Chain A
Amino acid sequence: MPVEIDIAHVARLARLGLTEPELDHYRDQLAVILEHAARVQELEGEPDVDVTHPLGVVNAFRPDEVRTSLDREEVLGQAPEARDGYFVVPPALEL
């Protein structure tokens, strides 16, 4: 089944700032891959499932204990931009 793909919307959701030609290129490739992937729809009669851990691991929790945090200078040292102990980014759109 041919699938319709609003590639610009998908790229926006994924925060990928692609050019028009790039978008067209990826739309075509996705169409081919999805047509193959759509074969999953050949399977019938499987109930809705939450695929669980193969070894049935459940209730894996940790005690409420404090562990030492990272050194701030080491952390901020990896940041493209930091100031006064903060990470810095350009302003958010809505403000």
Chain B
Amino acid sequence: MRVPGLGHLFRWRYARPVLQAPLLVLSLVMILHGLFGPSLAPKNLATTLSWLHFRGLLVLVLLCAGNFFCLACPFMLVRQWARRIFQPRFNWPRALRNKWLSVGLFVLILFTYELFDLWSSPWWTAWLIVGYFLSVLVVDGFFKHASFCKFVCPIGQFNFVASTLSPFEVKVREQDVCTRCHTKDCIRGRREPVSDLVTIRGCELALFQPSKVGNMDCTFCLDCVHACPHDNIGILSRLPASELMVDPLRSGVGYFSRRKDIAALAIVFTLGALLNAFGMVSPVYAVERWLGQMLHVSHEAPVLGVIFAFFLIVEPVLLLGVAAYLTRAWVGDANAGTRALLPLAVRYAYGLVPLGFGMWLAHYCFHFLTGLYTLIPVTQNAIASLGRPLLGEPRWTLTGLPANVVQVIEIGFLLLGFAGSLVVTYGLAENDSPDRPLRAFLPWAAVCLVLWCASMWLMFQPMEMRATLMSG
């Protein structure tokens, strides 16, 4: 916030809408082009921007900075406008105040992505964006605060988990200032002295800055920054992944070690990364054909269901279950030794997040970097189709970086993720079993190694993209 220019922008009360407006315009262009433009995905702005540029930039910004996409989220701009007309009246149901619904929606998005080949369909991609806008309006139209962001949005959950590895965090500069503060505007909002009307909103995600830890559930909306009367909140640097190694009471979140839902989100985030990449390599077709024959089905949905169940249920139960069992057996102390398997698995599940993020980075950056310049001919083509080729004729030969160069970058991301997971799991082992950290660490290091080897294997498989998985 003290960086000239950027600091001024972020301190400005209208920084968020100014950042959201261009993305809203872009979203509308994507919807229109998706519905009425070319049906071929490589020639359509909806598919090119969604599945190449947005995803690639998203993971790179999360890696290098923080959750700035949520800051510039176009869905929230529309929500703000809608709330001027329609004020929500209800609180989000108590039974749903957790991540289970969003974990389910995250899996559903991954499933529909494979089943309907969203990457190859501009039409479906456009409807996905429309569906997102409608969901935001319905959920936040009925329910107060940022219910959609905190409890529903699958993209937001992805960002929350990935941003635990980001180098920046919204946090207080000096705790003493907060201790002396009586108004707590960062959570309550800044109010008019006489009317008590809120003029600047406090945190809608129930994160009380003085006891907020890390980036989980933080949308970087900057409401707290603007509401703080002491200018004591900023976007500050920190050690990436450090928040995964500790287990303090987090405002608005609780203890990570007691949140099975967030641990499940971390597992889906990690193994979903492998699953999503698996859907685009040659062996998946052999597996699908084999499963189709075994189950005597010709439709893709049940076969995909079995693959998803294996990746997201059987695999984590086996891997984490065995690792937790070995940790308990080998450590045998008063801490981990007497603990049930599930809390141990929940505790160490967060250690897998860097591995998962490494895989998402490798996968998304492959598409982003190898297709980096394709936005130029696709935009040229879109403008030319309006009747006036203002940007010239489409140069379809423009693509991106060579695949062999990008593969080196991919290996780098996977190594970074592996190293990160080893560091985090060792940190967890040191905290959990200070007497025998190595014994507690080894089973989880083995899990990380297995997943890293699987990631490397996947990355070296020949890519194969089909719209019809079960044929051929």
Q: Do A and B originate from a single complex? A: no
